[in-house]
Structure 1
Amino acid sequence: MNAYESLRTSISSLVSNKLRSFLTMLGIIIGVSAVVSMISLGTGVRTSIVDQIGSLGSNLLTVVGGTTRQRPGAPIMMRGMSNILKIEHFRDIQATSIPGVQSIIAESTLRKTVVYGRNNTSVSIVGTTANYPTVRNFSPSLGRFFSNYDYINLNNYAVIGDTVAIDLFGDINKAIGNRIRIGRVSFEVIGVMEKKSMGPQDLGNQIFVPLTTLQKRLTGSRYIQSITIQSDSSEDMDTISQSVEKFFLRKLGDIDRFTIMNQQDILDTINQVTGTITLFLGAITGISLLVGGIGIMNIMLVSVTERTREIGLRKAIGARPSDILFQFMVESSVLSCLGGVLGIIFGAIGARLIGNFTQWVTKVSLGSIVISFGVSLAVGLFFGILPARRASKLDPITALRYE
């Protein structure tokens, strides 16, 4: 019996018992659809997080004061972050020629109540430099960002987030040109930043002012919170990190007084963690595939019993044990493959529904489809071996006498 004839006979046998065949495939369908949905969810979440981090700038090294510490069972914390980095450190590293460095910014943040007329809101005031939009990939949608001239001359200019604009003015188009009060200091609004978020964090609830103005008019301090360095390419980041570490060792004298956070390291960690979670979700849902495989083996054993006389007749007219083995293996494979295809379809639909109803990001990848289909085929072959071997080893005389 050739492969085509075996396939035709197998399909005919399955079609003659439609309900039983469908119920047998149901375990595979549920298992594959669950695996596809969960892997799609994990992949989508990972892609979303990586994209959000990448949207805040690429190839970044961030230097902060202090170092990391972690107690057992407690989250990672920074110690000694304030009163370490100074504006002079920023100016010195700007003047230092480090190969591969594209741009450098400094940042210092405080929280203040901002007032316009009778409206007020509490926001983060970010003092930074004029090249912030380029490094952070975050630019005004209306008006402009303050210039290097404004930075040098300590101008009282403010670029506000879209959320702040709505809270204070009711409409982002009414913001530019008005004056707001930050603490006791008046600032002119010259721009409104584009709408942007970082996960649950709304980046529109910020106001950007020249760092020099913030230090002179609002804080009276020369300390800054962070220095961010953008490299030309990701390949240069390790070399630049080493140069930056040597620079701050010379300036601060102790490696525990500063921390260099590599954006690529953060992305690698996120990929590793989310990849592990995705694998765990896939493994848990994959247990249902095992249940589906047991169902296939059970129904194939029943089929062997029901078709004992048929098997005996085929052997009597010349069918070899390998022909019988092949036929039953084909039947179990058809069940698992068809269940796998339907499971992939329902899994993709399920992933889409999860995304629509929960606002979680899902992404059906080719890899998840190939893995799910391959596993379903392997399950069919594995659990079809025992029934197929039993059928192939039936004695034709005994089989023909079977009632």
Structure 2
Amino acid sequence: MTGTPAVEVDRHILEQVRTRLARDGMALTPEYVARALRDQGRPVGDRAVLAVHDALRREVIGAGPLEPLLRTSGVTDVLVNGPDQVWMDRGAGLERCAVTFPDDEAVRRLAQRLAASVGRRLDDASPFVDLRLDDGTRFHAVLAPLARPGTTLSLRVPRARVFTLAELVAAGALSDTGAALLRRIVERRCAYLVTGGTGSGKTTLLNALLSLVDPGERLVVVEDASELRPDHPHVVSLEARPANVEGAGAVPLQVLVRQALRMRPDRLVVGEVRGGEVVDLMAAMNTGHEGGCGTVHANSAADVPSRIEGLALAAGLGREAAHSQLASAVDVVVHLGRDHGHRYLAEVGVLTRDADGLVEVRSAVRFDPSGREYEGAGADRLGVLLR
């Protein structure tokens, strides 16, 4: 168990002060809390006043009782499963935290306040939301009773800074050989996809790779929620926009990919390919935009062609056309794995076509969690690409 527990305050007292605060429209200060407690005939010692003030402050500022967890060094995710289960991930798997909420209504209040802070609606008529908070934190919520055992919150914390390849090597995510290989892929302007499961470090690695791009090149980054912030002097970021409360004003990723093509990108980057934008991205990579890249959720490198095929079919592109576009658009797949919370480079593969014209990923180099490498059947093809 880890985390910072909430200050113990009588919920009835807290509710009374909260109601008066809302009624009076006053600023939340220790002086106001002391006056409210005195008017109720409550103790007004310094400890009592500060306890009530701090409890209310957590409810109206930042992420409430989750704020200390979000500020914990190395944390990547904070997850709330109802009022009694709060978890966080610091890179070594999920840890149960000591933080709890008094009831599901408190979780719901926090979720609604965070959604309202960026102008989004969250209520029984619209019981889920996916957005980015002002500090860059990715926030997703589903209200009870849709979610059980209660209102569910998922917060993805942005990295305070971008890791370098050398730091990823030091952390054991890459071997020296793997880092040199990835550096060469970027230098040779290969088109590549970074793949892996949720939480495997795709965004972290892509940030590091984009930071290696020649400073004279222009990066245009398209994302559903802004997470890529490479250490590079010339980056333009486009972020998708969901519909407003009236259901209007949405700007999907697919539209932004098309806009990006008109912005003279030297490298077009799609932060996460998970919809119809895959068709536009492959078309862009087939029209002279070398070095393009993106991330894709996939369980293995071998699954990437079927994953792309499914996304393309949903967007109206036939199977044969999807494989033809993929074969011409992408050179390399960089696949990441997780082993008991340890994130690491698992495989680098190349795309080839079989006798039926369908694309398959042929392993060029595999790595085990310790960094040992094993050459695969695609090594010769990768060598040709990196000459």
TM-score range, shorter chain: under 0.3
**TM-score (normalised: structure 1):** 0.19
**TM-score (normalised: structure 2):** 0.19
When Rg is computed on C-alpha atoms for both structures, the one with the higher figure is 1
